[in-house]
């Protein structure tokens, strides 16, 4: 990675962290409704994976999507506006936290039914293959999603049809309150690729440098040889969603992982290898904080969608 790229990613990770903290406060204030799933702790995965793509590569993910949206190039203000349900949000206030997308950025959502976007990803990749482009589709999903039928159907189909899709499992070790040991027949998600004869890899998802490297290699494979399963081992620091009583894990366990903070790890790496100075990184982090402040203001000041749009976009052309 070039130095500029590393600094850009450091900034992006800090931006996501601040954005999610701001979202948590807005939720506490009652300004965000519904479910809110924070990405804090997993930033290295989204930023590392998505930064490895070419512009023509598609990205699609589950409902824990704010960080992926930012990594895909969405502005923080657009994410926050959607969280507040505003007309200026990426989905015009109709999607909310779990349904962010920007097709112009080749970011295809934000999907809230566990596993349902895996076949969508297969279809996106099929379209690229059909049109004989060189694009790949990157599909991110959780460890819990690998226990649902959709996962297995999509793995199988992608191999049978040799689809250019990179399956990325963000293994944060829990699906809501159920640990991987209690829900998955095998302890490592990558093992599930074996049943489909699919090449696979497992990477430390707290280390963005490793994630990026692994993704580059995986994408190279995908473009020439078809699907690949990349497992990134990570951890979410906050509850599954807001208001999670977290009875399923100990405080010590969370603290242990917090010592392994992906932003901290990258920080140390940049300093140790003299890619950046402390002052530069501090400035980057401060800038992220003020960017988020500004974005929150934008979102709060944005208008609600007009009542007239209730019936728009149900069909492409309005029907009676």
Binding site for Mg ion (CB under 5 A): 142-144, 172, 175
Residue 107 and residue 137 in contact, taking contact as beta carbons nearer than 8 Å: no
Supply 254's token pair.
């969370």
Environment class of 320 (CB within 10 Å of its CB; exposed 0-12, middle 13-18, buried 19+): exposed
Q: Residue 156: which of ligand TPP, Mg ion, other proteins, none does it interact with, CB under 5 to 8 A by kind?
A: other proteins
**In the stretch 88-127, what mask flags binding to ligand TPP with x, by CB under 6 A?**
------------------------xxx-------------
d(CA 178, CA 262): 23
Residue 114 and residue 151 in contact, taking contact as beta carbons nearer than 8 Å: no
Residues 10-69 that bind other proteins (CB under 8 A): 58
How many other CB atoms are there within 10 angstroms of residue 160's CB atom? Answer: 11
Query: Minimum distance between the CB of residue 76 and other proteins, rounded to whole angstroms?
Result: 18
d(CA 129, CA 148): 26
Residue 235 binds ligand TPP, judged by CB under 6 A: no
Residue 193 binds other proteins, judged by CB under 8 A: no
HSE of 175, CA atoms in CB hemisphere, 13 A:
18
Q: Which is nearer to ligand TPP, 70 or 281 (CB)?
A: 70
Residue 176 binds ligand TPP, judged by CB under 6 A: yes
Q: Which is nearer to ligand TPP, 75 or 153 (CB)?
A: 153
Residue 240 binds ligand TPP, judged by CB under 6 A: yes
**In the stretch 56-75, what mask flags binding to ligand TPP with x, by CB under 6 A?**
--------x-----------
Stretch that binds other proteins, among 5-13, 113-121, 249-257, 265-273 (CB under 8 A): 113-121
Query: Minimum distance between the CB of residue 63 and other proteins, rounded to whole angstroms?
Result: 12
Residues 136-155 that bind other proteins (CB under 8 A): 149-150, 153-154
Pairing mode of beta strands 165-171, 137-142: parallel
Nearest alpha carbon to residue 16 among 268, 292, 280: 292
Residue 124 and residue 58 in contact, taking contact as beta carbons nearer than 8 Å: yes
In Å, how far are 52, 239, 262, 290 from 276, measured between CA atoms?
A: 21, 33, 17, 21
User: Which residues make Cβ contacts (< 8 Å) with residue 119, sequence separation at least 6?
Assistant: 150, 153, 154, 157
**In the stretch 4-23, what mask flags binding to ligand TPP with x, by CB under 6 A?**
--------------------
Residue 200 and residue 228 in contact, taking contact as beta carbons nearer than 8 Å: yes
Helix orientation angle between 262-272 and 43-50, rounded to the nearest 10 degrees: 60
d(CA 258, CA 256): 5
Residue 203 and residue 232 in contact, taking contact as beta carbons nearer than 8 Å: yes
Q: Which is nearer to ligand TPP, 260 or 287 (CB)?
A: 260
Query: Minimum distance between the CB of residue 17 and other proteins, rounded to whole angstroms?
Result: 26
Residue 146 and residue 178 in contact, taking contact as beta carbons nearer than 8 Å: no
Q: Which is nearer to Mg ion, 111 or 267 (CB)?
A: 111
Query: Minimum distance between the CB of residue 170 and other proteins, rounded to whole angstroms?
Result: 20
Residue 174 binds ligand TPP, judged by CB under 6 A: yes
Q: Which is nearer to ligand TPP, 84 or 114 (CB)?
A: 114
**In the stretch 83-112, what mask flags binding to other proteins with x, by CB under 8 A?**
------xxxxxxx---x-xxx----xxxx-
Site for other proteins, rule CB under 8 A: 58, 89-95, 99, 101-103, 108-111, 113, 116, 118-128, 130-131, 149-150, 153-154, 156-157, 160-161, 312-317, 319-320
């Amino acid at each position: 990675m070039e130095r500029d790229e590393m600094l850009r990613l450091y900034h992006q990770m800090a931006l996501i962290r601040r954005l999610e903290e701001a979202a948590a406060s807005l939720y506490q204030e009652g300004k965000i409704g519904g479910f809110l799933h924070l990405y804090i702790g997993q930033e290295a995965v989204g930023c590392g994976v998505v930064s490895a793509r070419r512009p023509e590569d598609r990205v699609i993910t589950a409902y824990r999507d704010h960080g992926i949206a930012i990594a895909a190039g969405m502005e923080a203000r657009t994410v926050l506006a959607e969280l507040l349900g505003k007309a200026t949000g990426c989905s015009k206030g109709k999607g909310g936290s779990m349904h962010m997308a920007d097709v112009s950025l080749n970011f295809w959502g934000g999907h809230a039914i566990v596993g349902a976007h895996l076949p969508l990803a297969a279809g996106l990749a099929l379209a690229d293959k059909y049109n004989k482009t060189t694009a790949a589709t990157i599909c991110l999903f959780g460890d819990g999603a690998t226990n649902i039928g959709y996962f297995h159907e999509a793995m199988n189909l992608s191999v049978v049809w040799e689809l250019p899709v990179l399956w990325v499992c963000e293994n944060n070790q829990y699906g809501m309150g159920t640990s991987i040991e209690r829900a998955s027949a095998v302890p490592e998600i990558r093992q599930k690729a074996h049943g489909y004869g699919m090449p696979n890899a497992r990477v430390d998802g707290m280390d963005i440098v490793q994630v990026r490297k692994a993704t580059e290699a995986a994408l190279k494979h995908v473009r020439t040889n078809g699907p690949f399963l990349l497992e990134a081992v990570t951890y979410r620091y906050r509850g599954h969603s807001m208001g999670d009583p977290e009875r399923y894990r100990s405080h010590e366990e969370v603290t242990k992982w917090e010592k392994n903070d992906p932003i901290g790890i990258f920080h140390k790496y940049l300093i140790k290898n003299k890619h950046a100075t402390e002052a530069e990184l501090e400035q980057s982090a401060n800038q992220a904080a003020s960017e988020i402040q500004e974005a929150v203001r934008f979102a709060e000041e944005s208008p609600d969608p007009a009542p007239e749009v209730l019936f728009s976009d149900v069909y492409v052309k309005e029907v009676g």
